[in-house]
Chains A and B, each alone.
Chain A
């Protein structure tokens, strides 16, 4: 069974700094996909970035990047030059690979609250 663990309950940083949020996962599949979403104060859930397990290069989108350490089953999210509006709850999620038994469902971690202060 899949499991996603985010050990950091909350993080506070100053604006314009870099923050890293941790996530470790468990899966029996050799192929899987990892995602980060953020949930804003209004409840909106926004897709941020994705890492496919077979790709060695860390994904980067805008000021989001990933630190994918496959041997450690770890997928950290790095946000550079943080802004006040980055304050949100960040969820790590995993989906198992593209075999017949897998249906695309996501397994989420408990989330990390990020507070960015001026």
Chain B
């Protein structure tokens, strides 16, 4: 099926540093999402993005978080500064919108494992 790529696969940083997680969505997809998964738990929605704007963000999307997709390149999640509780796997997803106007199923990347020390 369609592939979403994420770079890097694993990132280890010190608390307080900045980190940028990169996502290369499916080429013709228009809607982009970030989800957070703490080890052994379910994925939780962070934010979604369309046409250069955040559509919705959850309470997990703290002020230290930001997203952008400059000039149609990578869809990025930036955390500045990082905190210990940001350690998790971050999944990027993308989707189309159906002809009927509905959101189609989301396709997920392999995730970036972020470890904050």
Contacts and interface: CB of A to CB of B under 8 A. Distances in A.
Interface of A: 33, 35, 37, 42-47, 50, 91, 95, 98, 103-111
Interface residues of B, number: 27
B36 to A, nearest CB: 11
Nearest to A45: B108
B43 A91 contact: yes
Nearest to A50: B105
The 8 A-B pairs at the shortest CB distance, nearest first, are namely A104-B103, A45-B108, A103-B55, A103-B56, A108-B42, A105-B45, A110-B42, A98-B102
Interface in B1-54: 1, 31, 33, 35, 41-45, 48, 50
A37 B108 contact: yes
A105 B48 contact: yes
Nearest to A92: B42
B91 interface: yes
Contacts of B107: 47
Q: Identify which of B31, B45, B58 gathers the most chain A CB atoms within 10 Å of its CB.
A: B45
A11 B55 CA distance: 37
B1 A33 contact: no
Nearest to B45: A105
A46 B107 CA distance: 7
A47 B43 CA distance: 14
Nearest to B32: A104
Contact of A103 (B35, B43, B48): B48
